[in-house]
Amino acid sequence: MGIVKEFKDFAIKGNVIDLAVGVIIGAAFGKIVSSLVEDIITPALLGPALKAAGLEDLSKLTIAGTAIKYGNFLSQVISFIIVAFILFVIIRTVNKLKSKEIPPVVVPVITKEETLLTEIRDLLKARV
């Protein structure tokens, strides 16, 4: 029964559950990003270029006389570049927002010695 208890302890730990939640949310977010890229951004950017080339779909791009469909590969490469750029912009924006946080103002505490030294300095200035 030792291995069952060890597995239970491992599976119930907070880190494992947090990781599972992160993976699930990441998968859902991945679908949103994929839809954004495939349904909105890619057609907006590539639509005019594909129409000018006489193609409505990148998957129709093949090497003549072969079954190699390089259009699908190009579509995935373009999607990757767009997603990477969007993530770069998001992370850059978040980092800028974090850096704009105003650090708390630290008021220096004047010690008793500093107060006495200030008084001595002021007395010496008044004497001269």
Indicate the length of the chain as a whole number.
128
The pLDDT of residue 36: 78
The pLDDT of residue 115: 92
The pLDDT of residue 113: 92
Distance CA 75, CA 73 (A): 5
pTM above 0.95, yes or no: no
Q: What is the pLDDT along the chain (128 residues), one digit of tens a residue?
A: 688 888 877 777 767 777 888 888 888 888 887 787 778 877 787 777 777 777 766 666 777 777 777 777 877 787 788 778 877 888 898 888 877 767 778 888 889 999 999 999 999 999 87
Q: Does 2-103 carry CATH code 1.10.1200?
A: yes
Distance CA 37, CA 77 (A): 12
